[in-house]
Structure 1
Amino acid sequence: MNTFKYTFLLFILAISSSCEDFVEVDLPDHKVTRETVFNNDKIARSAMTGIYNQLFNTSFANGGNHSVTFLAGISSDNFKLTTNNEDMREFNQNNITALNNYNLELWAGAYNVIYMTNSLLEGLENSESISDENRKSLEGEAKFVRAFTYFYLTNLYNEVPLILGTDYRINATASQNKQADIIEKIIDDLLDALDLLDENYLENNRARPNKAAANALLAKVYLYVEDWEKAENYSDKLISQASLYELLGHEEVFLANSREAIWQISPIGWGSTLTHTREGSIFIYDPTMNTPVILSKDFMEIWETSPDLRYDKWIGEYTQEGVSSYYSYKYKIAFDFSGGEIEEYSMVMRLAEQYLIRAEARAQQNKLQGAIADLDMIKQRAGLPLLSVTQPSISQQALLKEILLERRKELFAEWGHRWFDLQRFDQASILNDKPNTVWQPEHRWFPIPENEILKNPKLNQNDAY
């Protein structure tokens, strides 16, 4: 593969097969120089639109059965498999092999997105025809998407190659970088994005990140690296923007451009008459469509203590021959072939998570009253008794336990939150209670795909694989 010297459209077509590693995309026979690609604002903007469309199609981000949402989701304890698919079973049993095809799809899909952002950034750098306003916006958007993708790569695989260009000679033999170095680059990209992005959403479309999206991801990054003060500060900046964001009724949260959404991915990436999200089609249980998962018995037991509106609004029930199966019903549309208006977007980040981030960051700093106030925002919407009334003197450790529980209830079936939370709270041993699991602490990291290691001898496999 040569350095990009052809149109972005051909690039997207070349990498659309998610099984292909991004460093092995062949150059099409008909080449167009990058200067042609970025010779005006419209074409450069179309290139960024192509990245957003690809986010909906690439395995890593699309919410389907090769995505972070699904694979990290079934690796935790919220779901029970209803299929004998061996690749899925390996994730569910925490016994992933380096030859697992779903794992390869996940890895390759993420790096395809990174390659696309690198190509766009290089195109902007080499073009003198883009207006300053568009250049700033596009650079901010591309750096945000790249940072977002690396955030999940390093939290799934630990040390991974930090690819920042499109030169195949460099990329093909790139070594892994320490997680600290990757996090540092993620933060650098997000701080740049924070300076470059607009306060408002372009065309009022929440599938395009704005400045608040960078704040939200910075809050999450700092939470994961246990910089509690910065996590609180960045989530506070977003939460304070009442003109843009509010907690909605549960049935409204996952609608397209909902006021709870910070960043979403639009199903317009289907490029056809299909308008539903992949989360809708993979989680809404339908025995005729071979739905691969239902909610686990362990997950359902956490709802038995008191009435919760999330149970009523976000959990569906299917009964056959007197046996009930429960499924995630956050998205209400499983399939839509009408070609009409898109009703639901795939949710990536939303306001409720920011309240939970700030609550945890405050609790870790022993700012217990502030943490209680944040957690009560989530409990109030769910129709639950408020901690400020029932347990105003709750201890720090009890409060952190309560935050973990509310994160499980609020964020299930979204971007693998439960998987990452069990690792962060040092409670992954809970996974030993799953049926048929072979969980070991070394399984915190997914294996580097064997296919990648064979191509690049500089890559080292994670422990336990």
Structure 2
Amino acid sequence: MKNILNINTTLLFLFLLFLVSACEEFVQLEVPNHKITSETVFSNDETAKSAMTGVFNRLFNTSFSNGGSRSVTFLAGLTADNFTVTSTTVEIVEFGVNAIEASNSSNLDLWAGSYNMVFVVNAILENIAHSNTLSEKTKKSLEGQAKFVRAFTYFNLTNLYGDVPLLLRTDYHKNATAPKNDKAAVFDQIIRDLEDAITLLENDYPDGERTRPNVYAAMALLARVHLYLENWKEAEYYSSEVINQGVLYKLLKDPNDVFLANSEEAIWQISPIGWGSSFTHTNEGNLFIPSTTSTPITVLSESFMDQWTEPQDLRLTNWVQNFTSNGELFFYPYKYKIQYDASGGKINEYSMVMRLAEQYLIRAEANVHLGNLQNAITDLDKIKERAEIALISESNPHISESELLEIILGERRKEFFAEWGHRWFDLKRLEKSTILSEKPNSDWQETDIWFPIPENDRLKNPKLTQNDGY
């Protein structure tokens, strides 16, 4: 029995290594000889679940999703003027001034990390489909999780780059010369994957850990997708489905509790267990919080700090901190409180991906467009009440539709700074990105709404056309 267990463990390790290895050029590789490994891994429920665990651990280490200096959180926030660069690293400065070169290595990591994740979940889906030994319950669960991750990854890809190749298989030869698909086709696939995930995923979180998507995580992302597509009824419906799960989700009264592991506000989080070592801090905490020996590579921008007109706002007092360097005052995100922890102890903070506050603001925006202004005000006031600032229902109950939409946009910026590029995506979907021309030292052009397709991949794939302006 021990020998069999050791063999299966080794094969599982080899399969996970194949999945999670840095695969920036996966479309150029020859088909690896992993057939025996994958057949063994997907021959029983436990090893198949372990393979999926490897996928979620990989999200903490892949550039686009890890919350570090080459992630959507940082680079999109920098592009949208939530952050100011203190680093002189050229790759970072280019994002800060909206003049990204196609050869930018941070941009390549963002793109390549996303497609690595697409490849990983496509491999999972193919192996699930080919397995005759997995239980139906496990197959449904793993398929739902994989399709959710694929939808989430493509959501970020198409909002960063516009038209992108839509790869749904692990066929190296076809992927190597795949052309772009238009943004509408990508969104159609995202919706299909999420609708499938809703039918496949369970309502509860396994073992109480909010690091695996459940059915409401799929609904929450689908609500966001429909908001972006201006499908107001669908956005209102799916956000309501999530909000109405009062047992699972709550707006937490204390903002300091929001980003804790398995917070009741969390819909989906990524655990630092992906470090695979004694480190227990998030990448966001490590990136944004100054250490005692060095200055962070970024601080909160002047335009971001200027929006706080109510100094008692609990988000300002709890999620923003400051430090002084050479007599100058700087501000930094303090949603995560742990900068570095190598104790190997309990993990206290998880990286937040989706949370309940967004669903209230999605539903508020959708209701404005549906003509339900009072319902929109009620949802918006939920966010304001938690922040302990003036409520719209009391200060301006007869507010106009256009004014209400502007307030919602402002609240989204305050609520979600340093989280997954919300401000960047909001400015683009609402056609307000030209305000970025006012950024200090900005080289803003209208074509900058899309990041460049990395030069490295275009040299290898002649069908991969460049975005305008690059």
> Into which bin does the TM-score normalised by the smaller protein fall?
over 0.9
Contact 2:12 2:37 (8 Å CA) reproduced: no
Q: Does 1:54 align with 2:74?
A: no
Question: Which residue matches 1:3?
Answer: none
Question: Which residue matches 1:328?
Answer: 333
Q: Does 1:89 align with 2:93?
A: yes
Residue 29 to residue 133, structure 1, CA distance change in 2 (3 Å): closer
Unaligned 5+ segments in structure 1 are 1-5
Q: Does 1:389 align with 2:394?
A: yes
Contact 1:9 1:50 (8 Å CA) reproduced: no
Question: Which residue matches 1:416?
Answer: 421
2-structure distance, mates of 1:158, 1:22: 21
Q: Does 1:460 align with 2:465?
A: yes
Structure-1-length-normalised TM-score: 0.96
Identify the match of residue 425 of structure 1 among 427, 430, 438. Answer: 430
Alignment of 1:133-148 (within 5 A): 133-148=137-152
Question: Which residue matches 1:445?
Answer: 450
2:110 match: secondary structure: helix
What percentage of aligned pairs have identical amino acids? 56
Contact 2:15 2:41 (8 Å CA) reproduced: no
Deviation at 1:367, TM superposition (A): 1.1
1-structure distance, mates of 2:187, 2:91: 29
Question: Which residue matches 2:197?
Answer: 193
Amino acid aligned to 1:240: N
1-structure distance, mates of 2:90, 2:23: 18
Structure 1: 4+ residue segments shifted above 6 A: none
Contact 2:15 2:34 (8 Å CA) reproduced: no
Deviation at 1:232, TM superposition (A): 0.6
Q: Does 1:261 align with 2:269?
A: no
Identify the match of residue 71 of structure 1 among 67, 71, 75. Answer: 75
1-structure distance, mates of 2:313, 2:405: 20
Alignment of 1:234-245 (within 5 A): 234-245=238-249
Residue 287 to residue 462, structure 1, CA distance change in 2 (3 Å): farther
Structure-2-length-normalised TM-score: 0.95
Amino acid aligned to 2:82: N
Alignment of 1:294-333 (within 5 A): 294-333=299-338
Question: Which residue matches 1:164?
Answer: 168
Deviation at 1:15, TM superposition (A): 5.9
Q: Deviations over 1:36-85 (max 9, x none)?
A: 22110011000100000000000010000111001101001111111000
Question: Which residue matches 1:251?
Answer: 256
2-structure distance, mates of 1:392, 1:330: 31
2-structure distance, mates of 1:131, 1:11: 20
Q: Does 1:212 align with 2:210?
A: no
Q: Does 1:130 align with 2:151?
A: no
1-structure distance, mates of 2:419, 2:22: 21
Q: Deviations over 1:367-404 (max 9, x none)?
A: 11010000000000000011001111000000000000
Unaligned 5+ segments in structure 2 are 1-9
Deviation at 1:28, TM superposition (A): 5.6
Q: Deviations over 1:146-173 (max 9, x none)?
A: 0000000011111111101111011111
Number of residue pairs the alignment of both structures matches? 460
Moved more, 287-296 or 273-282: 287-296
Identify the match of residue 366 of structure 1 among 349, 360, 371. Answer: 371
2:63 match: secondary structure: coil
Contact 1:10 1:28 (8 Å CA) reproduced: no
Identify the match of residue 43 of structure 1 among 43, 47, 63. Answer: 47
1:289 match: secondary structure: coil
2-structure distance, mates of 1:74, 1:357: 23
Question: Which residue matches 2:286?
Answer: 281
2-structure distance, mates of 1:92, 1:393: 39
RMSD: 1.5
Question: Which residue matches 1:345?
Answer: 350
2:358 match: secondary structure: helix
Residue 126 to residue 220, structure 1, CA distance change in 2 (3 Å): same
Deviation at 1:263, TM superposition (A): 0.2
Residue 121 to residue 298, structure 1, CA distance change in 2 (3 Å): same
Contact 1:124 1:139 (8 Å CA) reproduced: yes
Moved more, 45-54 or 286-295: 286-295
Deviation at 1:291, TM superposition (A): 1.2
